[in-house]
């Protein structure tokens, strides 16, 4: 029923696993970024895979699961802290079916599966977001916040508003899959 | 607002028809499909407003620690059920007893931070040697920068904060008062619930000394006392001899209870309220004096900041104390009629799985509604601005997508079958006899006329069964077939006004996988106002797996002669309210495109 979301074919690169990455997104340190497949990186997004943990060897900085969406103008930046006098970045892990609205800044440590983050949100450093949580538009989540499963958070600072319905998982899953299907190149 | 479809929950009401859509009560009995439950036993829809709820787990939303129910009840200051029997049920709530605290200023979670390490002399901060940092520690808010050192709360070590804070909390006037109240009421609650649950027993043994002696000696009292101990924690420790023996020992056994109720001693509060105001808690001169010398509004704690307190506290922001975080709960839900479980979550606090989950979405066809003319306008707008930011599109979409009075619009209903068997669906819109604009002072015969007329296919139409495989080849043909496929049944399209029906708008438009799209049409009157919102009865028949209950009760006598009869067919009907959105009144319609 929903009309398709048309994008210009020239703008997006489609990978073998169905990831669609805008050429207008800034992907720093792509070797440190994992996309699970069928994930969309919209134009203007900034993903900082270059901010890696100091030390030798390969390091995954940001990993995203399947059917994720990084909205337009989003900034994804791994969290950092100084621990025992050493400054360091820490990896960011994001599960499946996670949608992040336009112009949000995300510095979370962990985001579970089936999480919806609205537009213009700030997700502070080392935030932990559990499965099926939802962050309303324009929410400021302060650093080190824990957002429990099936909770709706909103406001500044983000506060618990209500419990989400039991069928949230199915709803979000259907919605993210549908979004990916609707996201179609223009004919030209 | 996008057009919406909500489902009716009768909430055990006797009337079968839902309230008319233009009444405010309509929004209370209609819910989005995904919030509804389905009781297989009663064969009925249930909603969050009518199910009975019980807590299955408590957990702290910050540390995610699961708090066993027993310890929730045992915690001294989380004396919830007891409090429930008194008018002041906001006195205490279940709170995390570990190291989780909330900022009293902004309700953010507080973190423990060490003090700055001592200066090393060369102007640079010394590298801290210890992992935990320098004492004293204090609680710090990452959001508003409030810290507990401001109000004089510091800690020697960063662990066991709850225990360190406990003595502050215990000496607070509200908890002292609460203790006193508890001591005062406990014997009465204990006596009244004991005597009501085991009345016969109480009569037999009028004295409470005998009571406590027999408490664990027979099964009835054991059960009663277990239930009591669950409801009122701390009751096990209580010695009934201390207070009530003298009054209960005498008197006739039959009148025992009523006598006791009257004998409740007058309660004397710990602090007299007239005196309390002097020290600046609860209005009075001290507060007036404070307000008089106020220089900055932020010196006064807002109502929101003081709301959590059960006790009248100081008005000053500088007196706010860190708050404990209230626990959250996972709940199981039961059908209100047959008490079968509809929702039973897994025990683990952060699991989103359910042991039992009977949601209506798995039983009723999902209905979505769309206005083709609005979608077309949106898609064209999107195409025009392709490459630009989509946020710009949202601003100018309203004129083309609205519905103007006096015009005719088609709409599409997409019905999705969640069952593994095909179903036959019939839609019957409820006739709307009252104007949706009740405030309008038109002539009575005009107000009577419905502001819009709905045409929907009245014959039954099929929806194919749900099969997991559909999910995969969905991708290709999802948008290919937009129009022109006429393999639906178009008979029974209601020709309302003759002029209104173009041949293809009303009827089954499209069938694919387990989705059938039917077209309808709305003719909006010239004087119409408000929303195009109408109730529709959706009835569907499906093949049921188990035979009808009447036959199974009769035994297999009557069913044998039929031999290979067709599979049992059942019908289920439910009401929906379909909201197509607001009508743009006639006079405005010309001015809107200019804007």
Regarding whether B511 and B388 lie in a shared domain, the answer is: yes
| SS3 category, B49 | coil
Cα–Cα distance, B595 to B588 (Å, whole number):
11
pLDDT at B198: 53
**Beta strands in B430-501, from DSSP E residues, in sequence order:** 452-455, 461-463
Q: Evaluate whether B519 touches B504 at the Cβ level (below 8 Å).
A: yes
Domain boundaries, chain A: 5-181
Rounded to the nearest integer, the mean pLDDT of chain B is 70
Averaged over A154-163, what is the pLDDT? 92
Q: Evaluate whether B459 touches B489 at the Cβ level (below 8 Å).
A: yes
**Full domain range(s) for residue B345:** 45-55+329-362
Q: Evaluate whether B334 touches B358 at the Cβ level (below 8 Å).
A: no
Contact yes or no for A165 and B34 at CB 8 A: yes
Cα–Cα distance, B29 to B212 (Å, whole number):
49
Q: Does residue B242 belong to any structural domain of this protein?
A: yes
CA distances to B467, B542, B568 from B545, rounded to whole Å, are 17, 9, 7
Averaged over B112-123, what is the pLDDT? 68
Mutation target to probe the B interface, by most B beta carbons within 10 A, among A6, A138, A149, A158 is A149
Pairing assessment for the beta strands B101-102 and A20-22 based on DSSP bridges: unpaired
Averaged over B328-344, what is the pLDDT? 92
Q: Evaluate whether B378 touches B490 at the Cβ level (below 8 Å).
A: no
The answer to which of A9-23, A168-182, B236-250 has the lowest mean pLDDT is B236-250
* B61 vs B273, higher pLDDT: B61
Tokens of B262: 């009257």
Which residues in chain A touch residue B375, judged by CB atoms under 8 angstroms apart? 3
Q: Evaluate whether B255 touches B263 at the Cβ level (below 8 Å).
A: no
Regarding whether B480 and B439 lie in a shared domain, the answer is: yes
The answer to which of A1-5, A137-141, B15-19, B71-75 has the lowest mean pLDDT is B71-75
Q: Does residue B200 belong to any structural domain of this protein?
A: yes
Mutation target to probe the A interface, by most A beta carbons within 10 A, among B108, B358, B418 is B108
Contact yes or no for A130 and B350 at CB 8 A: yes
pLDDT band at B533 (very low <50, low <70, confident <90, very high): confident
| SS3 category, B384 | helix
| SS3 category, B412 | strand
Instruction: Give the containing element (helix H, strand E) for B498.
Output: none
| SS3 category, A20 | strand
**Beta strands in B49-159, from DSSP E residues, in sequence order:** 52-59, 66-67, 101-102, 110-115, 134-141
Q: Evaluate whether B482 touches B518 at the Cβ level (below 8 Å).
A: no
pLDDT band at A12 (very low <50, low <70, confident <90, very high): very high
Regarding whether B504 and B474 lie in a shared domain, the answer is: yes
Which residues in chain A touch residue B131, judged by CB atoms under 8 angstroms apart? 84
Q: Evaluate whether A70 touches A40 at the Cβ level (below 8 Å).
A: yes
Pairing assessment for the beta strands B366-370 and B101-102 based on DSSP bridges: unpaired
The answer to which of B92-101, B146-155, B216-225 has the lowest mean pLDDT is B216-225
pLDDT band at B506 (very low <50, low <70, confident <90, very high): confident
CB within 8 Å of chain A, chain B residues 124-143: 127-128, 131, 141-143
Last residue of a domain, one of B318, B353, B387: B318
Q: Is the pLDDT of residue A18 over 80?
A: yes
Nearest CA in chain A to B127: A85
Q: Is the pLDDT of residue A95 over 90?
A: yes
Q: Does residue B64 belong to any structural domain of this protein?
A: no
Domain count, chain B: 5
Distance from chain centroid for Cα B68: 23
Q: Does residue B123 belong to any structural domain of this protein?
A: no
Taking the CA atoms of B389, B394, B399 and B403 in sequence, report the sign of the dihedral they define: positive
> Rounded to a whole number, what is the distance in Å from the CA of A124 to chain B's nearest CA?
10
Contact yes or no for A144 and B143 at CB 8 A: no
Residue B167: name the closest of B89, B76, B79 by CA. B76
DSSP A80-106: EEEETTEEEE--EEE-SS-EE-TT-EE
- Could you tell me what percentage of chain B is helix, strand and coil, using 3-state DSSP and rounding each to the nearest 5? 30, 25, 45
Regarding whether B486 and B368 lie in a shared domain, the answer is: yes
Contact yes or no for B107 and A131 at CB 8 A: no
* B432 vs B44, higher pLDDT: B44
A-B C-beta contacts closer than 8 Å: 104
Tokens of B242: 């201390």
Q: Is the pLDDT of residue B568 over 60?
A: yes
Global pTM? 0.76
CA distances to B164, B435, B440 from B444, rounded to whole Å, are 73, 10, 10
The answer to which of B28-32, B270-274, B287-291, B332-336 has the lowest mean pLDDT is B270-274
Q: Does residue B61 belong to any structural domain of this protein?
A: no
Which residues in chain A touch residue B578, judged by CB atoms under 8 angstroms apart? none
DSSP B583-595: EEPHHHHTTGGG-
> Rounded to a whole number, what is the distance in Å from the CA of A36 to chain B's nearest CA?
18
Cα–Cα distance, A48 to A77 (Å, whole number):
5
Q: Is the pLDDT of residue B559 over 60?
A: no
pLDDT at A16: 94
pLDDT band at B225 (very low <50, low <70, confident <90, very high): low
Q: Evaluate whether B529 touches B437 at the Cβ level (below 8 Å).
A: yes
The answer to which of B113-122, B299-308, B539-548 has the lowest mean pLDDT is B113-122
Q: What is the CATH number of domain A5-181?
A: 2.160.10.10
pLDDT at A129: 96
Q: Does residue B206 belong to any structural domain of this protein?
A: yes
Q: Is the pLDDT of residue B473 over 80?
A: no
Q: Is the pLDDT of residue B567 over 70?
A: no
Residue A130: name the closest of B328, B106, B104, B326 by CA. B328
Q: Smallest Cβ distance to A157: which of B107, B354, B368?
A: B107
CA distances to B342, B349, B358 from B354, rounded to whole Å, are 10, 11, 10
> Rounded to a whole number, what is the distance in Å from the CA of A52 to chain B's nearest CA?
23
Q: Is the pLDDT of residue B463 over 50?
A: yes
Regarding whether B150 and B255 lie in a shared domain, the answer is: no
Q: Is the pLDDT of residue B249 over 50?
A: no
Rounded to the nearest integer, the mean pLDDT of chain A is 93
Contacting residues for B64 by C-beta, under 8 A, at least 6 apart: A130, A146, A148, B349, B350
pLDDT at B253: 43
**Backbone phi, psi, residue B232, to 5°:** -125, 95
> Rounded to a whole number, what is the distance in Å from the CA of B40 to chain A's nearest CA?
17
Which residues in chain B touch residue A3, judged by CB atoms under 8 angstroms apart? 375, 378-379
Cα–Cα distance, B338 to B359 (Å, whole number):
16
Q: Smallest Cβ distance to A148: which of B328, B359, B478?
A: B328
Contact yes or no for B475 and A140 at CB 8 A: no
Distance from chain centroid for Cα A51: 16
* B263 vs B411, higher pLDDT: B411
Q: Is the pLDDT of residue A93 over 90?
A: yes
pLDDT at B216: 38
Nearest CA in chain A to B356: A166
Q: Evaluate whether B573 touches B541 at the Cβ level (below 8 Å).
A: no
Q: Does residue B76 belong to any structural domain of this protein?
A: no
> Rounded to a whole number, what is the distance in Å from the CA of A88 to chain B's nearest CA?
15
CB within 8 Å of chain A, chain B residues 51-90: 59, 61-64
Q: Is the pLDDT of residue B444 over 60?
A: no
pLDDT at A128: 96
Per residue in B46-62, pLDDT (tens digit) is 999 999 999 888 899 99
Phi-psi region of B387 (alpha: psi -120 to 50; beta: other; left: phi over 0): left
Q: Smallest Cβ distance to A8: which of B34, B59, B387?
A: B387
Q: Smallest Cβ distance to A6: which of B351, B382, B474?
A: B382
Q: Does residue B349 belong to any structural domain of this protein?
A: yes
């Amino acid at each position: 029923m929903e009309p398709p979301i048309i994008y210009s074919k020239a703008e997006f690169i489609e990978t073998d696993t169905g990831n669609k990455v805008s050429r207008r997104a800034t992907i720093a340190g792509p070797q440190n970024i994992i996309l699970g497949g069928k994930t969309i990186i919209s134009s203007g997004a900034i993903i900082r895979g270059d901010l890696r943990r100091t030390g030798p060897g390969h390091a995954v900085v940001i990993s995203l699961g399947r059917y994720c969406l990084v909205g337009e103008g989003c900034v994804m930046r791994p969290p950092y802290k100084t621990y025992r006098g050493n400054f360091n970045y820490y990896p960011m892990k994001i599960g499946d079916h996670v949608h992040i609205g336009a112009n949000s800044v995300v510095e979370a440590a962990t985001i579970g599966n089936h999480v919806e983050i609205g537009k213009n949100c700030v997700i502070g450093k080392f935030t932990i977001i559990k499965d099926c949580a939802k962050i309303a538009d324009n929410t400021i989540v302060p650093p080190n916040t824990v957002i429990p499963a099936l909770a709706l958070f909103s406001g500044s600072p983000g506060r618990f508003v209500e419990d989400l319905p039991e069928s949230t998982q199915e709803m979000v899953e259907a919605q993210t899959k549908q979004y990916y299907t609707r996201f179609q190149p223009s004919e030209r | 607002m996008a057009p919406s479809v909500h489902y009716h929950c009768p909430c055990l009401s006797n009337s079968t028809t839902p309230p008319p859509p233009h009444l405010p009560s309509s929004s209370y009995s209609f819910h989005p499909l995904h919030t509804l439950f389905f009781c297989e036993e009663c064969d009925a829809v249930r909603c969050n407003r009518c199910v009975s709820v019980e807590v299955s787990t408590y957990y702290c939303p910050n540390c995610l620690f699961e708090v066993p129910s027993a310890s929730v009840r045992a915690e001294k200051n989380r004396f919830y059920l007891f409090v429930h029997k008194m008018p002041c049920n906001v006195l205490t709530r279940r709170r995390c007893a570990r190291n989780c605290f909330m900022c009293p200023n902004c309700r953010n979670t507080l973190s423990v931070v060490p003090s700055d390490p001592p200066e090393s002399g060369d102007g640079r901060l010394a590298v801290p040697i210890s992992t935990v940092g320098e004492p004293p520690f204090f609680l710090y808010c990452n959001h508003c920068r409030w810290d507990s050192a401001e109000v004089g709360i510091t800690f020697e070590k960063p662990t066991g904060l709850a225990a360190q804070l406990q003595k502050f909390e215990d000496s607070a006037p509200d908890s002292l008062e609460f203790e006193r109240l508890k001591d005062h009421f406990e014997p009465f609650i204990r006596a009244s619930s004991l005597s009501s649950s085991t009345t016969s027993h109480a009569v037999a043994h009028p004295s409470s000394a005998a009571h406590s002696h027999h408490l664990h000696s027979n099964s009835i009292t054991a059960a009663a006392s277990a239930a009591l101990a669950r409801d009122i924690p701390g009751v096990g420790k209580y010695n009934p001899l201390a207070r009530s023996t003298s009054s209960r020992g005498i008197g006739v056994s039959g009148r025992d209870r009523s006598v006791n109720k009257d004998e409740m001693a007058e309660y004397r509060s710990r602090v007299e309220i007239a005196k309390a105001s002097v020290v600046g808690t609860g209005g009075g001169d001290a507060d007036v004096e404070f307000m008089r010398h106020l220089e900055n509004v932020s010196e006064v704690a807002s109502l929101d900041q003081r709301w959590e307190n059960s006790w009248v506290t100081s008005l000053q922001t500088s007196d706010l104390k860190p708050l404990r975080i209230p626990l959250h709960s996972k709940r199981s839900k039961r059908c209100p009629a047959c008490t079968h479980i509809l929702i039973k979550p897994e025990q683990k606090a952060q699991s989103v799985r359910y042991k039992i989950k009977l949601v209506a979405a798995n039983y009723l066809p999902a209905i979505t509604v769309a206005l083709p003319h609005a979608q077309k306008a949106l898609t064209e707008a999107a195409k025009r601005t392709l490459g630009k930011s989509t946020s710009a599109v949202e601003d100018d979409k309203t004129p083309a997508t609205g519905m103007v009075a006096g015009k005719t619009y088609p709409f599409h209903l997409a019905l999705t079958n969640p069952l593994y068997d095909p179903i036959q669906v019939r839609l019957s819109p409820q006739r709307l006899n009252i104007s949706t604009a009740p405030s309008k002072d038109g002539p009575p015969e005009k107000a009577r006329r419905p502001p819009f007329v709905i045409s929907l296919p009245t014959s039954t139409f099929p929806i194919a069964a749900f099969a997991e495989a559909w999910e995969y080849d969905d991708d290709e043909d999802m948008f290919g077939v937009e129009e022109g496929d006429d393999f639906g049944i178009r008979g029974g399209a209601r020709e309302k006004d003759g002029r209104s029906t173009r041949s293809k708008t009303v009827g089954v438009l499209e069938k694919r996988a387990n989705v059938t799209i039917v077209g309808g049409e709305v003719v909006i009157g010239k004087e119409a106002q408000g929303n195009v919102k109408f109730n529709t009865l959706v009835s569907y028949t499906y093949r049921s797996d188990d035979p009808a209950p009447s036959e199974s009760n009769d035994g297999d006598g009557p069913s044998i002669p039929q031999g290979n009869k067709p599979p049992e067919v059942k019908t289920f009907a439910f009401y929906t309210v379909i909201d197509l959105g607001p009508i743009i009144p006639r006079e405005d319609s010309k001015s809107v495109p200019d804007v």
